[in-house]
Amino acid sequence: MRIVMLGPPGSGKGTQARIVSELYGVPVVTTGDMLRDAVARGTEHGRVAKGFMDRGELVPDRIVNMVVRERLSMPDLEAGFILDGFPRSTAQAYALDRILRERGLRLDYVIHVTLGDEAIAARLGNRRSCPGCGAVYHLESKPPRAVGVCDECGSGLVLRDDDKPKVIRHRLEVYREKTRPLLDRYMGAGIIREVPGDCPLDELPGLLRRILG
Ligand code: AP5
């Protein structure tokens, strides 16, 4: 199964990707987490990416395409993958087409997660993320068992630097300008499935299973 998660920042792409991963045993590739990891390790790509991420801009295509191409060639993704946060621009969509074509593969689904700007802004201030394993929590809808501590790996939870109101607004603009147009592209292929980003968390596994079969 090869899936792309598409939707505005904070709509719930990562949350749904993890549910699909648990349901079908397919690994998730989250470009945001890969880039944050590169920033934390101070790699060459990470040093370039940091400024773009802090401002809520897209990291340049050449870096992201290179990172994704390398990751998709790894053996654990041979049977499938869920791309969370890629592609995000026309150039990235072309790059993904090329990678898939070279391997004789195709996408099965694009899951379009929908949520309005106001709900997103209200939601992201209450998100807490785990820098250790990438798990995502919400102070109201999905609190960790112990305050500030990841249930899965025990790391301290953080509020992401780009989850501040001004940066969130800019991320939404960037999404509308650069990423949303990709929906038209995939619409033609008939592989888009819409999932409301405010579907109650306990109903998501059933809904995603019905949609994906
Ligand atoms: P990235 O990390 O990908 O951020 P994003 O796309 O902005 O998406 P988010 O992670 O903010 O949100 P999400 O939709 O995954 O929502 P989540 O499930 O966490 O990218 C960050 C930056 O990296 C970019 O700005 C860019 O600079 C760079 N980057 C990454 N990929 C790139 C690329 N391909 N090209 C160039 N640059 C790139 O949910 C949000 C909150 O809501 C959580 O608290 C969650 O618990 C809660 N929640 C989720 N679903 C529900 C629900 N159904 N009910 C109640 N609460 C819910």
Assess whether the C-beta atom of 58 lies below 6 angstroms from ligand 1. Answer: yes
At residue 164 the predicted structure's pLDDT band, cuts being 50, 70 and 90, is: confident
Specify the ligand 1 atom closest to the Cα of 9.
7
Closest listed residue to residue 7, CA positions, set 189, 192, 191, 211: 192
Nearest CA to ligand 1 atom 39: 12
Is 16:81 a contact under the CB 8 Å cutoff? no
Among protein residues, the one with the nearest Cα to ligand 1's atom 51 is: 12
Q: Looking at residue 122, what is its pLDDT? A: 86
CA of 14 to the centre of ligand 1 (A): 6
pLDDT at 161 over 90: no
Ligand 1 proximity of 56 Cβ (cutoff 6 Å): yes
134 C-beta closer than 6 A to ligand 1: no
Question: In what helix (H) or strand (E) does residue 204 lie, and over which residues does it extend?
Answer: helix 204-212
> What is the per-residue pLDDT for 30?
96
Q: Tokens 């773009």 — which residue?
A: 52
Q: What does pTM read for this prediction?
A: 0.94
